[in-house]
Amino acid sequence: MKICGQCGTEIFDGEEFCYSCGNTGEPIECVHEPMNKQNEWIALLLALIPGIFDVFGLGQLYLRSYLKAGLFLAVSLVLYFAVPHYGVDKGTLPYLGMTMVIFLAQAMDVMNTIRKRKQMKNV
């Protein structure tokens, strides 16, 4: 896999520039450790179990997707500190709906990352 040397976004074969930041510089070869069944389950469990308690991003952190992990962890902090400060009760339907969407997004992202790495391993 190749990643952008400027922003770290994955660059697919045949692309001449980074679609995220526009960098046309030389991409960096990135070698991830191969995914095995144990790593897959650990990543999924780290995404699902803490996600039930509104702690997001641990699966991405385990998979070394640091930017995504940081974003999901920042959302967790906002939910933990800022939302109660503004008077939103954690039992209300909008809060539960918002956390469910974030939970599903981070779980699907972990599964998608695992799928991509398995495909790269098979190539």
Chain centre distance of CA 18 = 19
Nearest 5°: phi and psi at 111?
A: -65, -40
Q: Are residues 51 and 101 in the same domain?
A: yes
Q: Are residues 73 and 109 in the same domain?
A: yes
Q: Which domain holds residue 6?
A: 1-31
Q: Are residues 55 and 77 in the same domain?
A: yes
- Please say whether the beta carbons of 24 and 16 come within 8 A: yes
Return per-residue pLDDT of the chain as tens, 123 residues: 677 766 667 777 777 777 667 777 666 555 555 556 668 888 889 999 998 888 999 998 888 888 999 999 999 988 888 777 777 777 788 888 889 999 999 999 999 888 887 776 665
pLDDT at 13: 74
pTM for this structure? 0.65
Q: Are residues 40 and 26 in the same domain?
A: no
Q: Are residues 76 and 113 in the same domain?
A: yes
Q: Are residues 21 and 67 in the same domain?
A: no
CB atoms within 10 A of CB 43: 23
Sequence-distant (≥ 6) Cβ neighbours of residue 51 within 8 angstroms: 103, 106, 107
User: For the chain, how many structural domains are there in total?
Assistant: 2
Q: Are residues 64 and 107 in the same domain?
A: yes
DSSP 54: T
- Please say whether the beta carbons of 87 and 16 come within 8 A: no
pLDDT at 108: 93
Q: Are residues 18 and 57 in the same domain?
A: no
Sheet of 28-29, strands arranged across: 10-11, 2-3, 28-29
